[in-house]
Amino acid sequence: GAVVSQHPSRVICKSGTSVKIECRSLDFQATTMFWYRQFPKQSLMLMATSNEGSKATYEQGVEKDKFLINHASLTLSTLTVTSAHPEDSSFYICSAPKAGSTDTQYFGPGTRLTVL
Amino acid sequence: QQPVQSPQAVILREGEDAVINCSSSKALYSVHWYRQKHGEAPVFLMILLKGGEQKGHEKISASFNEKKQQSSLYLTASQLSYSGTYFCGTEALTGGYQKVTFGTGTKLQVIP
């Protein structure tokens, strides 16, 4: 089956620093990728839709200047959390549907971000 | 708006059955079902498309009533491995192609 990877799987950083999370589709092309955030004991909340070759679309309430998204190629999207603060600590998960397919979202394994 | 799931939590003994419901306020194109284990990403179980279908494999099946904007996940003869949090994910007819909104979640615990 299709595989999506994320890197890093876990990151701890100091408050005020920026953190970059990569999401790669390993064996298929993804013109669209989705970024989710999940706080403990809560559901996954969609943050933004990453579009290859164009600007990302952000959900209401998500600061686009704080969560920078770049979809550099058909297999790579990056999420950069700028000037991270403890309240940004969360589980960040990306997903990608196969281009041209209406079926199935393939999820990355997630990145656990802890901001001290 | 986030789809609402019921129940919020359920405890089963091995071999018992369970039904998890998902209700949306929007007209839907599809409903997805996922299971998430603690500390891991969600794992895709199945997708049901507009057309009011029912799907399943082995002891896990689901139905989708597009008129009521509801879906149900059926777990029969539950096994310990079924434990986890189940999420429905809905894809609305309007609002973004392949954009999935996750439900509130149902925590399922299967005990021996």
Q: Looking at beta carbons, which residues of chain B come within 8 Å of A103?
A: 47
Most confident of A101-110, B35-44, B94-103: B35-44
pLDDT digits (tens, 9 = 90+) for A10-58: 999 999 999 999 999 998 888 899 999 999 999 999 999 998 888 999 9
Q: What is the mean pLDDT of residues A65-93?
A: 95
pLDDT digits (tens, 9 = 90+) for B25-83: 988 888 999 999 998 999 888 888 877 666 666 789 999 998 899 999 999 999 999 99
Cα separation, A40 vs A31, in Å, equals 30
- The Cα-based distances of A92 to A24, B48, B92, B112 in angstroms read 14, 26, 23, 33
Q: Looking at beta carbons, which residues of chain B come within 8 Å of A113?
A: none
Residue of A nearest to B43 (CA): A107
The reported pLDDT for the residue numbered B44 is 86
SS3 A88: helix
Q: What is the mean pLDDT of residues B95-103?
A: 81
Instruction: Check: CB of residue A34 under 8 Å from CB of residue A50.
Output: yes
| Residue B33 CB-density burial (10 A; 0-12 exposed, 13-18 middle, 19+ buried) | buried
The reported pLDDT for the residue numbered A30 is 87
Q: Which residue from A42, A97, A112 is facing B98, i.e. has the nearest CB? A: A97
B101 touches chain A (CB under 8 A): yes
Q: Which of B97, B99, B103, B95 is nearest to B73 (CA)?
A: B103
Instruction: Check: CB of residue B106 under 8 Å from CB of residue B36.
Output: no
pLDDT digits (tens, 9 = 90+) for A85-98: 999 999 999 999 87
Q: Looking at beta carbons, which residues of chain B come within 8 Å of A45?
A: 102
- The Cα-based distances of B61 to A24, A102, B15, B47 in angstroms read 31, 20, 16, 10
The reported pLDDT for the residue numbered A99 is 58
Q: Which helix (H) or strand (E) holds B20?
A: strand B18-23
Q: State whether B44 and A109 contact (CB < 8 Å).
A: no
